[in-house]
Amino acid sequence: MPELPEVETTLRGIRPHLEGRRIERLLVRETRLRLPIPSEMADRVGGQSILGLSRRSKYLLIQLERGTLLVHLGMSGSLRVVPAESPPKRHDHLDLILTDGRCLRFHDPRRFGIFLWTPDTPDTLKVEHRLLRDLGPEPLDPEFDGDHLYRSSRKRRVAVKSFIMDATVVVGVGNIYANESLFLAGILPASPCNAIGLERYRRLVEAIRALLLASIEEGGTTLRDFVREDGRPGYFAQSLRVYGRTGEPCKVCGAPIHQVRIGQRSSFFCDRCQH
């Protein structure tokens, strides 16, 4: 699944090509996405100007003159800005066709993405929409800090890895980044979250923020289904320290990397560097 850096990379890639442009029409080839596309959506969207693009967690928000397009890439989705006349490929489910001759093309082999119009502004969506209203802070925002994690963990006993992957605690820390940030902070992923002290949580927040920023700059982690908006893959996976490296030597101490299941997700760690 594309994680937050991949979504942020997509946002930065498509924003210059969409902001200030006018939509000619919406062409839908497949309505059966995670949330079905209603037949009247094309009429709602056509003729509108695009005022701005933003992100909340892994959701992209495309603000129109009237309403907002809510987009989620799902398990395998991607967005491209291409000439409107370019032939669609298999799994190119819809085109947001612009009056300048280009289109925003939504590609999603597994059809678990979302592409919907809502009548609300982005600010209203963030506090009222059922998919967004209960989300925790953004990991790159100042309000996300060690004190927040410390306070939120005191009455919980789940593994710290599951805790930081809980979107009501903080958004966008997916499995890859949870494993990597816990390694950088020297914390075992199975440690009970209420046993982690304030200073260690502060180090963990620094690790999460640094890792996400570095990954955004490098174009996102290379996953099986993800490529950048310009068609080139990200390369951050080449510098992963523990994720997917079971049995390989730790890049810090040389001990073998271990793998366990935590919350039904693969978890990787070095039992020398993490405690």
Binding-site positions read 91, 110, 156
DSSP 181-225: HHHHHT--TTSBGGGS-HHHHHHHHHHHHHHHHHHHHHT----TT
Amino acid type, 78: S
H-helix segments, the chain: 4-18, 41-45, 122-128, 146-153, 160-164, 175-185, 198-218
Residue 272 CA to residue 95 CA, distance in Å, equals: 51
Query: Largest alpha-carbon pair distance within the chain?
Result: 60
Residue 113 CA to residue 116 CA, distance in Å, equals: 10
Residue 165 CA to residue 275 CA, distance in Å, equals: 19
C-beta separation of 62 from 91 below 8 A: no
Nearest to 229 by CA among 243, 219, 214: 219
Phi and psi dihedrals of 222, rounded to 5?
Answer: -75, 115
Residues with catalytic roles: 2-3, 58, 265
C-beta separation of 171 from 58 below 8 A: yes
Q: Which residues belong to the annotated binding site for DNA?
A: 91, 110, 156
Q: Which residue has the tokens 């502004």?
A: 121
Residue 168 CB neighbour total at 10 angstroms? 9
